[in-house]
Amino acid sequence: PSNLSYWWGFGSLAGICLVIQIVTGVFLAMHYTPHVDLAFNSVEHIMRDVEGGWLLRYMHANGASMFLIVVHLHIFRGLYHASYSSPREFVRCLGVVIFLLMIVTAFIGYVLPWGQMSFWGATVITSLASAIPVVGDSIVTWLWGGFSVDNATLNRFFSLHHLLPFLLVGASLLHLAALHQYGSNNPLGVHSEMDKIYFYPYFYVKDLVGWVAFAIFFSFWIFYAPNVLGHPDNYIPANPMPTPPHIVPEWYFLPIYAILRSIPDKSGGVAAIAPVFICLLALPFLKSMYVRSSSFRPIYQGIFWLLLADCLLLGWIGCQPVEAPFVTIGQISSLVFFLFFAITPIL
């Protein structure tokens, strides 16, 4: 049947990741202390003294990366097969809202261990709000709860990090409800009632294979490479006096971070972030396609793979120092990224 495909298993995987994050997060919160003098030590206490604490922490930290990997694959699959097109515009819009909530949740979660990179990442990213005309400085002071990143910042970030996952659950349920209004797209991009089959056992078994493969992949990172996706500077307690030589966010922020840095002007860099999400939101309304799947659109297919390569390049540029030739490459890559969304409606 046309609608039976492994590429349509990432939604259920994303749901599993969300459940893992909430469950491990609740147990970690029982032992975490949101105070600048105690936060770093409380994380070490979880690792050393709490039974199974190391497993909880590594599942939560690497689970965030797994969640973002699954969601990125989900997004790119949707772009490839044009799953965003009519009549599924609302599904797409809710998906972008979920993605934005995930990014905010992941960012404030990265601050909580209160290591050196946590502190300076929070300082750099929150201070970007000062680029907003007139009210920017007031917003930064409000975010910090004072005149610098300090205890008030850590407390409010901890509270928000506890709240946002439940908003994610609500948005995910709405996403699922909107999807069930018209059903899923398929690799052919053609709606057909003729060859549909029962969810159980066919789709269940297909998804089960994906879940097992994901569990193996996830287990590798937890047990064999738990710190590879993190930054070594975050094992140094936060200190506002020495600045790290190179402030790098988590890997899943790097493409957006590269776009932000590619514009020398601070206000321009911040302004370039909004179009990233606007493009994703606007895509369903730019063109109503009779042929959805890239399998039948060879020109679009080539440009899609160019976009994928460009996003990987942006991710690499985001972790490089701000110097030549990385700045120039980042600017060209950012231009290519936005050009994709500009020319997609005419393909």
Which residues fall within 8 angstroms of residue 329, CB to CB, at 6 or more apart? Answer: 313, 317
Q: Does the annotation count 180 as an active-site position?
A: yes
Give the residue among 284, 305, 301 at the shortest CA–CA distance from 293.
301
∠ Cα 47 52 107 (to 5°): 55
Which residues fall within 8 angstroms of residue 39, CB to CB, at 6 or more apart? Answer: 32, 33, 112, 113, 114, 154
Which residues fall within 8 angstroms of residue 128, CB to CB, at 6 or more apart? Answer: 260, 266, 269, 270
Catalytic: which of 31, 35, 72, 206?
Answer: 206
Catalytic: which of 207, 233, 294, 334?
Answer: 207
Q: In Å, how far are 110, 293, 305 from 77, measured between CA atoms?
A: 27, 10, 11
Catalytic: which of 137, 148, 159, 180?
Answer: 180
Q: Does the annotation count 250 as an active-site position?
A: yes
342 by Cβ neighbours in 10 Å (0-12 / 13-18 / 19+) ranks as exposed
Q: Residue 114: left if φ>0, alpha if ψ -120 to 50, beta else—which one? A: left
Q: Does the annotation count 44 as an active-site position?
A: no
Phi first, then psi: what are they for 74, rounded to 5°?
Answer: -60, -45
Q: Does the annotation count 323 as an active-site position?
A: no
Q: Does the annotation count 207 as an active-site position?
A: yes
Catalytic: which of 2, 130, 184, 267?
Answer: 184
For the annotated binding site for a ubiquinone, the residues are: 180
For the annotated binding site for heme b, the residues are: 60, 74, 161, 175
Beta bridge partners of 115: 237
For the annotated binding site, the residues are: 60, 74, 161, 175, 180
- The residue whose two tokens read 């206000």 is 267
Catalytic: which of 12, 85, 231, 250?
Answer: 250
Q: Say if CB 232 and CB 82 are below 8 A apart.
A: no
Active-site residues, by number, are: 180, 184, 206-207, 250
